[in-house]
């Protein structure tokens, strides 16, 4: 298949441990690639993927699809508010994706419950999406350090984590905190909280499209809360991550979900696992 000259884009949808190998094979064959997240299971493999894309002068994108598929026009509207300075300097972003249950709590087999196949559990599965969203919102993919914790609280038959909590410091000074769970004895939640010096916002992915944002500001020296309803929900300009990548390829531009950005996310995740093992901050 990779020898076919008429291919425009190869999409890699395989277990995590195969991402690097197959992506590099495709890039070396002269193909453009859209690879599923996580980019790889190690930073070393992710760096090799970026190097292969550069040496072959091919596009390599990673399918960070949540901003299109689940947060949609609301998250693009929030990003515009941030870029326009409406919320002031952003100093803290909290992302949480907490599921009540993803897998049965006993006697179940699937490739991403294997450390060898997946490279981890809830952190490497949910973390790429939520960390990418936070970094994208504040336009900073330069993480400096991470302090993280992972735990297998409920899925005891599997060796991988089903819960993760951690904090990331970015170069611009913004602190990101993330809580992630495949399974938990707690209330499910799928939100992004943004704290700015002039205002803040919460985006709830489980609310209807166009009505996911609650904005918090001050008016006449009093706290003000606004449930934002978007009259124009044409954003994002593309319906999916696939359409976005193809449009950017045609225009000769790098996609927003570039391999370089995904590599920085991978550095955070690998450092997070190291921090959980050592109990200390890890420099990135």
Q: Which residues contact 92 (CB under 8 A, 6 or more apart)?
A: 174, 175, 176, 177, 194, 195
- CA diameter of the chain: 66
Instruction: Give the dihedral sign, CA 191/245/264/38.
Output: positive
Q: For residue 74, what pLDDT is reported?
A: 94
In the block, residue with structure tokens 């900073």: 140
- pLDDT tens profile 213-267: 999 999 989 999 999 998 866 667 788 999 999 999 999 999 999 999 999 999 9
Q: How confident is the model at residue 144 (pLDDT cuts 50, 70, 90)?
A: very high
- CA gap 179, 254 in Å, rounded: 30
Tokens of 80: 């515009």
Residues 112/137, Cβ–Cβ less than 8 Å: no
Q: Taking the model in full, what pTM does it have?
A: 0.96
Mean per-residue pLDDT for 35-39? 98
Q: Please say if the pLDDT value at position 150 is more than 90.
A: yes
Same CATH fold assignment for domains 10-65+241-259 and 67-236+264-283 = no
Among the four given CATH numbers 1.20.140.10, 3.40.50.1220, 3.40.640.10, 3.30.360.10, the one describing domain 67-236+264-283: 3.30.360.10
Domain 10-65+241-259 homologous superfamily, CATH: NAD(P)-binding Rossmann-like Domain (3.40.50.720)
- pLDDT tens profile 60-101: 999 999 999 899 899 999 999 999 999 999 999 999 999 999
Domain boundaries, the chain: 10-65+241-259, 67-236+264-283
- pLDDT tens profile 170-211: 999 999 999 999 999 999 999 999 999 999 999 999 999 999
Q: For residue 102, what pLDDT is reported?
A: 93
Q: For residue 142, what pLDDT is reported?
A: 98
N residues, the chain: 284
């Amino acid at each position: 298949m990779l020898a076919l000259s008429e291919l425009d884009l190869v999409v890699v949808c395989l277990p995590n441990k195969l991402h690097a190998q197959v992506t590099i094979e495709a890039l070396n064959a002269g193909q453009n690639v859209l690879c599923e997240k996580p980019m790889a299971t190690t930073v070393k493999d992710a760096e090799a993927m970026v190097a292969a894309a550069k040496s072959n002068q091919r596009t390599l994108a990673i399918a960070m699809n949540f901003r299109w598929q689940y947060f949609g026009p609301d998250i693009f509207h929030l990003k515009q508010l941030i870029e326009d300075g409406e919320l002031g300097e952003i100093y803290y972003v909290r992302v949480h994706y907490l599921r009540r249950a993803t897998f049965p709590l006993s006697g179940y087999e699937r490739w991403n419950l294997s450390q060898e196949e997946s490279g981890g559990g809830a952190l490497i599965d949910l973390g790429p999406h939520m960390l990418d969203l936070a970094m994208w919102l504040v336009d900073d993919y330069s993480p400096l350090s991470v302090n993280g914790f992972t735990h297998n609280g409920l899925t005891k038959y599997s060796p991988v984590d089903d819960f993760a909590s951690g904090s990331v410091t970015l170069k611009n000074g913004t602190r990101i905190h993330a809580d992630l769970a495949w399974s938990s004895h707690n209330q499910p939640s799928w939100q992004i909280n943004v704290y700015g010096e002039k205002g803040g916002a919460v985006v709830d992915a489980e609310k209807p499209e166009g009505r996911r944002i609650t904005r918090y500001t001050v008016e006449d020296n009093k706290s003000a809360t606004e449930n934002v309803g978007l009259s124009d929900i044409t954003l994002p300009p593309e319906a999916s991550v696939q359409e976005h990548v193809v449009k950017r390829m045609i225009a000769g531009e790098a996609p927003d979900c570039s391999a370089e950005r995904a590599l920085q996310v991978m550095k955070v995740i690998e450092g997070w696992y190291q921090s959980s093992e050592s109990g200390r901050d890890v420099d990135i």
